[in-house]
């Protein structure tokens, strides 16, 4: 099990108040800490934010995903953390990103916002595969551009 790679996808709701500027500053802070910690823990993945929702993919060993996700779940900057996928996988698909970011001015993120509002913010209307594909396609496209 120690060499196996696991993938976790979750959704959560923003709990950072204080307006758009403070929100973006706080997301920047989250990314700085996430990238620093994830390099050390050999965790890769991506984070998306739009319309009051976060979506994140984390990939790494069982232990590193568990430890990272335990910290994330306790973070008061978001709530209603809902796991959409946690599974063993053959290989990393986000190996280029210690934590790629898909912000709210991107097509992927706008699609995500549309789908989450269509489902009335019900996580049952979204699958881990959908979020995973959306994030990965966006980051690959951004890399090619």
Interface of this chain with ligand FAD, residues 62 to 81, rule: CB under 6 A:
68, 71-72, 75-78
Interior/surface letters 34-59, b for 16+ CB within 10 angstroms, e for the rest: bbebbeebebbbbbbbbbbbbbbbbb
d(CA 68, CA 7): 12
Interface of this chain with ligand FAD, residues 8 to 37, rule: CB under 6 A:
26, 30, 33-34, 37
Q: 5, 8, 46, 47: which one contacts ligand FAD (CB under 6 A)?
A: 47
Q: Which is nearer to ligand FAD, 52 or 111 (CB)?
A: 52
Interior/surface letters 129-138, b for 16+ CB within 10 angstroms, e for the rest: ebbbebbbeb
Number of residues that bind ligand FAD (CB under 6 A): 18
Q: Which residues bind ligand FAD (CB under 6 A)?
A: 26, 30, 33-34, 37-38, 47, 54, 56, 58, 68, 71-72, 75-78, 99
């Amino acid at each position: 099990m120690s060499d196996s790679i696991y993938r976790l996808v979750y959704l959560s709701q923003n709990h950072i108040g204080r307006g758009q500027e403070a929100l973006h500053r706080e997301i920047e802070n989250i990314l700085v800490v996430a990238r620093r910690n994830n390099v050390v823990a050999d965790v890769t993945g991506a984070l998306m934010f739009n319309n009051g929702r976060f979506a994140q993919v984390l990939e790494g060993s069982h232990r590193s995903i568990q430890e990272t996700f335990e910290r994330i779940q306790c973070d008061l900057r978001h709530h209603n953390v809902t796991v959409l996928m946690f599974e063993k996988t053959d290989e990393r698909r986000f190996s280029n990103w210690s934590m790629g970011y898909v912000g709210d001015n991107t097509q992927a993120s706008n699609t995500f916002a549309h789908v989450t509002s269509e489902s009335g913010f019900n996580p049952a209307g979204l699958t881990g595969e959908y979020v995973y594909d959306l994030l990965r396609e966006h980051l690959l496209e951004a890399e090619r551009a």
